[in-house]
Every structure is written in structure tokens, then in C-alpha cells.
């Protein structure tokens, strides 16, 4: 058997700043000449003009294809066919993590290059060499891995500031998990998404993401609510997108994201943002670890102040929903899940117990800190 290697992977170029969308054509011209731009109708409504103008200045025509909402196998195959029919040589995803994952997967299948243009800082999907694929109903199905990362990730921080602040909060939830999972992966010596064991670089970037967020997230959330770009917001956008992306991919995933994937098996949680469910996964991981009480209390207080769910109530579940919680726990512990990167054995019954316990825990911490009562989440459908 070959000796294990350590590996770091990253996008070819990362660009961030207010008004960066105006320079998309400039950066894109070094990658391809016939782009296919994929965006849903809402995103295209507020950014389409800027994208078209930027590509026109670079001597390119923007051919736009609508994204239908879920990165399912069917949607990926449909986009792959569109790429081939249009003769595009680069696929450009403009929007959130679902759009970006669908474009990465279809770009790979079509044999062309791909670019991420996130309009929110809600996940670390834009930088990675993998896509999360769901069923048409929104249930986690699989990870798909690709031999390279996006050639370009371009983030217009003013677009991020213009978006509802809840998207930024979700990105903080996703990014805070990066260090919790990277330290667990390093402790167990498990493989990372980069195809080797964790590097010092990947683990350090995961820790840096955590430190930047604890220092800046609350101030950045105020800027996002006022739709203005500040130094704190720029730092949080970078932490949510680049540092978290590099940290999770080359540092490792563990229980928090496995619990997220498991939660997609409960229909009550559908409609929640990725990072909202990941935050519940992070608290569950801390409970599974038997982390010091002070660490758990600080995490619950901080993420509640950010605007993230810290109880089952806020994701549509209750401790007495035994059947659903057991289904979540079984899905989170299937053989292929990243929960097995934890430095100890985790069984489905362990996950169910930890997940059930966070309702009372979260309510107690919030009450003592004078934080608001949890509000029930009900999926619109």
C-alpha cells in the first residue's frame, strides 16, 4: 500500500472587492472566449446587466442559461447538454452555492473549465473541487469530486452587502465548522477532501477562518444589515469563502457536515440554508466530543448573536421527534460519511442522543445570556 501523502488544493485565482463584477470579462478572457453564464432569474435580475456589460467590454458575448434551483443529477445533466449545444469553452456560475455546484459538475462532465461568481457569502462552495448533489426533493445524495478547482473565483463584496444579511450569517455558520472539523481530522489522521492527510497549511487556514470570524462577524453582520462594505465585512467574506473553502478541503470535514447531510433526510428542515443546518451540526459535534462546557456555551451564545439556529426548534424539529432524529442519525453515520473522520467511533445512537440534547442545552444557555427565545421554523411547503 502506498504511503499517505499530504495535499493542498485551491482555485487558480481569487478576486474580491466592491465593484469586482465589472472586471469579470477581464479575468475571464484569460480562461475562455465563449462563456455560458448560469444564473437563476432572481440573481440575473440584479446582476445580469453588469455581467453582460463586463463581457462586452472584453469582446465576449454572454450566453445565459437559467438554473432551476437544485443541483440534482438531472439538472446537472441538463446543463451539461446545454454547454455542449452552445459550444461554450467555460461555464460561469453566478449566484449561490447550489448554482455553483451544478456548474462545477456540468463543466466537468462537458470537459470545459469553470468559474465561480458568488453573489452571497453563504457557503464555501465557490472555491472547492467538489459538488454536493441532492435529489429533486432536496435530500443529500452524494459528493462528486473533480480533478481541479475553479479557474477563477470572483466576489463582488458590494453584491454580498446588498443581499439579505441572513445569507452572510449562514456563511458564518458554515465557516465556523471548518476549524472544529479540521482539528478533529488532524487528531484522527483521516484523509481530507484534497485526497491526502491534512497539511499544516490547510489546518492553519481553518484556524485563521475561525479567528477572523470570532473577531469580526458581529460587526460585519451590522454592516450587512445596512448594505455597506466595511473592513470587517471584507474580512468575513474572505473567511466565509476563501479561508473556509481552503480549510475544509485541505483540512478535512468531520461530524458537523455529516449531521447537516443527515438533517436533509428530515423534511421539516427543508428550505433552511446550508450554514444554518451546519451550525446545528457544529453544536452536535461539540456535544459528541464532550467539549468543555465553556466552549459549548460560548459557541451557542456567539452563533445565536450572529443569527444562527442553536436549537432543534429553529430547524423545525423537536426532541420528541424520535423517528425523524433517528433517521437523521442513520443518514449522518453511513459508511461514506465524514463523521468517521472523528478521532473516535461515532454510532447512529450517539448522534441521536447528542442531537436530542441540544434543545434543552441551547434554551438554557440563551436564557442565562438574556438572548431571545427560539422561534419555531416551519418549512413553507
Annotated binding-site ranges: 40, 97-101, 119-122, 124, 128, 130, 134, 174, 257, 274
Check: CB of residue 325 under 8 Å from CB of residue 294: no
Instruction: Decide if 350 is catalytic.
Output: no
What length is written for the chain? 381
- The Cα 21–Cα 53 span in angstroms is 10
DSSP letters spanning 119-171: SS-S-SGGG-SEEEEE-TTS-EEEEEE-SS--SEEEEEHHHHHHS-HHHHHHH
Query: CA dist 246 to 7, 91, 124, 182, Å?
Result: 11, 22, 8, 11
Going by C-alpha positions, the residue among 105, 115, 60 that lies closest to residue 81 is 105
Set 85, 151, 226, 260: catalytic member: 260
Point out the annotated binding site for NAD(+): 40, 97-101, 119-122, 128, 130, 134
Instruction: Decide if 257 is catalytic.
Output: yes
- The Cα 308–Cα 371 span in angstroms is 12
Q: Within the chain, where are the H helices?
A: 24-28, 41-57, 73-86, 97-110, 157-162, 165-188, 200-225, 231-238, 244-251, 255-263, 274-289, 293-306, 322-332, 348-368
How many other CB atoms are found less than 10 A from the CB of residue 377? 18
How many other CB atoms are found less than 10 A from the CB of residue 200? 11
Set 257, 270, 298, 379: catalytic member: 257
Whose grid coordinates read 468559474?
Answer: 115
Encode 153-178: b = buried (16+ Cβ within 10 Å), e = exposed.
bbbbbebbbbbebbbbbbbbbbbbbb
User: Using CA of residue 57, residue 58, residue 62, residue 68, what is the dihedral sign?
Assistant: negative
Check: CB of residue 107 under 8 Å from CB of residue 226: no
Instruction: Decide if 174 is catalytic.
Output: yes
Going by C-alpha positions, the residue among 275, 302, 297, 281 that lies closest to residue 346 is 281
- The Cα 15–Cα 226 span in angstroms is 23
Set 174, 321, 350, 379: catalytic member: 174
Q: Which residues are catalytic?
A: 174, 257, 260, 274
Amino acid at each position: 500500500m502506498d504511503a499517505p501523502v499530504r495535499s493542498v488544493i485551491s482555485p487558480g485565482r481569487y478576486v474580491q472587492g466592491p465593484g469586482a463584477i465589472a472586471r469579470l470579462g477581464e479575468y475571464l478572457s484569460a480562461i475562455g472566449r465563449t462563456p455560458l453564464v448560469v444564473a437563476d432569474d432572481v440573481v440575473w435580475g440584479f446582476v445580469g446587466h453588469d455581467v453582460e456589460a463586463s463581457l462586452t467590454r472584453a469582446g465576449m458575448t454572454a450566453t445565459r442559461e437559467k438554473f432551476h434551483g437544485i443541483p440534482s443529477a438531472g439538472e446537472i445533466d441538463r446543463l451539461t447538454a446545454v454547454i455542449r449545444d452552445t459550444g461554450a469553452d467555460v461555464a460561469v456560475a453566478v449566484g449561490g452555492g447550489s448554482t455553483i455546484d451544478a456548474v462545477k459538475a456540468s463543466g466537468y462532465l462537458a470537459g470545459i473549465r469553470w468559474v465561480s461568481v458568488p453573489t452571497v457569502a453563504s457557503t464555501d462552495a465557490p472555491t472547492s473541487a467538489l459538488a454536493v448533489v441532492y435529489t429533486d426533493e432536496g435530500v443529500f445524495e452524494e459528493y462528486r469530486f473533480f480533478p481541479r478547482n475553479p479557474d477563477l473565483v470572483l466576489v463582488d463584496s458590494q453584491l454580498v452587502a446588498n443581499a439579505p444579511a441572513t445569507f452572510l450569517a449562514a456563511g458564518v455558520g458554515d465557516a465556523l465548522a471548518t476549524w472544529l472539523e479540521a482539528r478533529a481530522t488532524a487528531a484522527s489522521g483521516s484523509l481530507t477532501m484534497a485526497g491526502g492527510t491534512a497539511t499544516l497549511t490547510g489546518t492553519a487556514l481553518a484556524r485563521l477562518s475561525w479567528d477572523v470570524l470570532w473577531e469580526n462577524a458581529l460587526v460585519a453582520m451590522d454592516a450587512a444589515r445596512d448594505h455597506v462594505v466595511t473592513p470587517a465585512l471584507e474580512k468575513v467574506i474572505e473567511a466565509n469563502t476563501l479561508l473556509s473553502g481552503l480549510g475544509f478541503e485541505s483540512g478535512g470535514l468531520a461530524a458537523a457536515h455529516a449531521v447537516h447531510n443527515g438533517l436533509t433526510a428530515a423534511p421539516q428542515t427543508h428550505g433552511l440554508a446550508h450554514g444554518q443546518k451546519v451550525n446545528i451540526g457544529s453544536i452536535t459535534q461539540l456535544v459528541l466530543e464532550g467539549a468543555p462546557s465553556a466552549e459549548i456555551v460560548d459557541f451557542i451564545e456567539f452563533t445565536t448573536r450572529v443569527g444562527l439556529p442553536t436549537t432543534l426548534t429553529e430547524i423545525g424539529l423537536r426532541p420528541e421527534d424520535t423517528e425523524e432524529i433517528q433517521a437523521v442519525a442513520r443518514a449522518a453515520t453511513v459508511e461514506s460519511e465524514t463523521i468517521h473522520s472523528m478521532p473516535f467511533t461515532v454510532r447512529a445512537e450517539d448522534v441521536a442522543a447528542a442531537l436530542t440534547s441540544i434543545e434543552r442545552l441551547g434554551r438554557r444557555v440563551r436564557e442565562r445570556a438574556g438572548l431571545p427565545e427560539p422561534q419555531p421554523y416551519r418549512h413553507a411547503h
